[in-house]
Structure 1
């Protein structure tokens, strides 16, 4: 399969996603919307991955991107969105994306939803980095929740489309760069962790890699 990434920021690249695809024999390419590149035609890929963003692309590019997402949703091709990309999927399905009362930045415990179609542990830890929330669109299955966020992801169309607030793709190096450029100063806010809290245990990133493998394998099996 050939997978296309839509990238919105140098801080949120394909990361482990690209490594996983290459290791499994898939090819991939990416469009740098943050550098003014136009989204590709849907016919150029077998699956689409919408990466996170610190801010949306400029208006004309965003309009093109939304059209591509709508076409992908109506196709039979797998679609995966992370963070901002998950929000684009939620909006395409009629949900509202809004600022979170409690931004979640750091390692958070997630509880797998009973309705989740994915084979994941009942509870697990994942790295979150988001300031927006969305509701569960009609016809979607919830994937998991945190104490501060009841909808941390959902699946649609039997798992062909996935929207995630979790950053399973991030490595320690990626997280270090995010901490250097986007970590807010927030004292005593439990949902925002310090740089040290996020980076002190490298094994956390290894456990994330195992979860990513399970998600990606099951996602592409729905093709």
Structure 2
């Protein structure tokens, strides 16, 4: 067990670029699969920083491990350690903080421009980010804002794209952790789920246009978020 815990839920939603950031900084981390019950073996008082990744399931699905993960997140929140949630992870954090998570009338898929809602007073989580930047999306559920949360981000198809709660909790609806390899993998393996007749979805050719520059812009924002997360945990 290490001081950094990454919780995943399926093999094709890995830590992605977050793992590369940690490797470059030579910070050891532990990855567990909550859906396989691996979170049960974790000493919840050990981690100093936690990241929760995505997955295709809903927080409202009747799966026994979901309740256990929400309880673990509440424990981390009580410990006042920095926690970041990505997509499903953000929805799990919202649920842990008492907010609703519900199905949207459509699925948001593709590159969406995220607009900051923390201006003119900038959130420290986004101090490095431009007023608008692209983030890759693939979700049908969305979270409400917990009581006391600060609304940070929105997109044209999903108003609640991100919130912070207190100083150390950040919930994101999108996937800033995705690199080029993962975008190509998802748009290939999940192509049968795409429906370009829905205006909230983009076709695979469009999603792969200017991929290098889109991913680069996304990862610049992601790296700033991860630096702040690590700074909160380790003071550097």
TM-score (norm. length: structure 1): 0.92
For residue 92 of structure 1, report the CA deviation from its aligned partner: 1.1
For residue 36 of structure 1, report the CA deviation from its aligned partner: 4.1
Kept after mapping to 1: 8 A contact 2:196/2:202: no
Kept after mapping to 1: 8 A contact 2:49/2:229: no
Secondary structure, in 3 states, of the residue corresponding to 2:105?
strand
Kept after mapping to 2: 8 A contact 1:14/1:51: yes
Secondary structure, in 3 states, of the residue corresponding to 2:195?
coil
Secondary structure, in 3 states, of the residue corresponding to 1:21?
helix
Match of 1:168 among 162, 171, 176: 176
1:148 maps to 2:157:
yes
User: Residues of 1 paired with 2:33 and 2:157: CA distance?
Assistant: 32
1:132 maps to 2:133:
no
Match of 1:208 in 2: 218
Match of 1:190 in 2: 199
Secondary structure, in 3 states, of the residue corresponding to 2:141?
strand
Match of 1:33 in 2: 34
Match of 1:98 among 84, 96, 102: 102
Q: How many residue pairs end up in the alignment? A: 222
User: Residues of 1 paired with 2:84 and 2:78: CA distance?
Assistant: 14
Structure 1 spans left out of the alignment, 5+ residues:
none
Structure 2 spans left out of the alignment, 5+ residues:
none
Kept after mapping to 2: 8 A contact 1:110/1:126: yes
TM-score (norm. length: structure 2): 0.87
The list of structure 1 runs, each at least 4 consecutive aligned residues, that deviate by more than 6 angstroms after superposition, is: none
Q: What RMSD in Å do the two structures reach over aligned CA positions?
A: 1.9
For residue 222 of structure 1, report the CA deviation from its aligned partner: 2.9
